[in-house]
């Protein structure tokens, strides 16, 4: 996948596979950014804490139940009326749970979920806003990742100021440690414009011993034959790297195999441009730096 990712990144931004995966090793989801409603027959979970279920799709509707985060539900339909709270616009959705049926505001439902052992990971978006740039104003959203165990929230992480372009591809994945010691899960959240020059950003968060550790955000851009791509390689990627004939990947594999006893995360940056004389590519990579509190990108001289 990384070979495909790099080839596209240099000249037209990043694209992500539409193939959904859900295995013991990895859960993968392709999402819409802050959708106004979830599809019918979608099985998900209550995301909001103490979510009110109403008899009718309105804030004036009679309250018939109070559901805790992590309650499994099935989406039955959505209402045409929209409600905007905290900058987040979403429709009312009729749901079914073990205790009956009713209406909830759609933003209080999880967009993605993954059961990892005894822990349930939920991804939702309940906040939005406007961010001013030099050229215009862009809609931004805040996603929240929650970890629940036995009905209690064990951890929470905020993906802030995710920008909404005219079109985008959003993917979310949770994988086992990927070869990192003392790490339980590796969370990925990717956002890419589905057009040349839109760019992308990738967020990685490590879940370890009941706490989240964020890696620096990666960005990729590409337009008019020029581009830059940033990637992370994890120890478990060695098997995938071995399948590539590309010499750059062979150097990467050798570098990882020569790593010390404690496996490392490799930060990889590729810059290139294309003209009538061909393609020119510059590659740099180093081990990520952890100072005991946070991760930092290495500096290339």
Could you read off the pLDDT of 49-86 as tens digits, one per residue?
999 999 999 999 999 999 999 999 999 999 998 999 99
pLDDT value of residue 34? 85
Rounded to whole angstroms, the Cα distance separating 85 from 70 reads: 21
Q: Please tell me whether residues 241 and 148 are part of one structural domain.
A: yes
* Residues 185 and 174: beta-carbon distance below 8 Å: yes
pLDDT value of residue 217? 93
Number of domains in the chain: 2
Strand partners, 207: 185, 212
Strand partners, 149: 119, 152
Last residue of a domain, one of 93, 110, 127: 110
Q: Please tell me whether residues 90 and 133 are part of one structural domain.
A: no
Q: Please tell me whether residues 59 and 201 are part of one structural domain.
A: no
Residue 301 forms part of a structural domain:
no
Chain centroid offset of residue 208 CA: 18
Residue 21 forms part of a structural domain:
yes
pTM comes to 0.85
Q: Please tell me whether residues 116 and 27 are part of one structural domain.
A: yes
pLDDT value of residue 124? 94
Last residue of a domain, one of 79, 110, 141: 110
Low-confidence residues of the chain, pLDDT below 50? 1-20
- Identify which of 94, 101, 35, 91 has the alpha carbon closest to the alpha carbon of residue 64: 101
pLDDT value of residue 254? 81
Can you give the residue range of the structural domain that contains 164? 2-35+111-296
Instruction: Give the phi and the psi of residue 53 in degrees, each rounded to 5.
Output: -100, 135
């Amino acid at each position: 996948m990384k070979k495909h990712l790099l080839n596209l990144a240099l000249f037209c931004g990043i694209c992500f596979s539409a193939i959904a995966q859900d295995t013991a090793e990895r859960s993968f989801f392709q999402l819409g950014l802050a959708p106004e409603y979830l599809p019918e027959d979608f099985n998900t979970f209550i995301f909001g804490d103490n979510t009110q279920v109403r008899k009718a799709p309105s804030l004036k509707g009679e309250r018939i139940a109070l559901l805790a985060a992590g309650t499994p539900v099935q989406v039955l339909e959505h209402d045409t009326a929209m409600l905007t709270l905290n900058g987040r616009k979403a429709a009312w959705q009729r749901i079914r749970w073990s205790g009956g049926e009713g209406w909830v505001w759609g933003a209080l439902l999880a967009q993605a979920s993954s059961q990892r052992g005894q822990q349930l990971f939920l991804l939702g978006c309940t906040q939005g806003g406007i961010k001013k740039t030099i050229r215009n104003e862009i809609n931004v959203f805040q996603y929240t990742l929650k970890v629940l165990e036995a009905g209690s929230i064990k951890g929470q992480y905020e993906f802030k100021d995710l920008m909404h372009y005219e079109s985008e591809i959003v993917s979310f994945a949770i994988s086992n440690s990927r070869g990192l010691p003392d790490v339980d899960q590796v969370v990925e959240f990717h956002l890419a414009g589905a057009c040349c020059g839109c760019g992308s950003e990738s967020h990685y968060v490590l879940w370890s011993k009941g706490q989240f550790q964020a890696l620096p955000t990666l960005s990729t851009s590409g337009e008019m034959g020029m581009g830059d791509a940033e990637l992370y390689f994890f120890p478990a990627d060695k098997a995938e790297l071995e399948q590539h004939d590309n010499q750059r990947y062979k150097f990467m594999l050798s570098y990882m195999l020569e790593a010390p006893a404690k496996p490392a995360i490799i930060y990889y940056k590729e810059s290139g441009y294309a003209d009538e004389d061909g393609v020119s590519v510059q590659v740099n990579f180093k081990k990520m730096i952890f100072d005991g509190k946070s991760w930092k990108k290495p500096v290339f001289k």
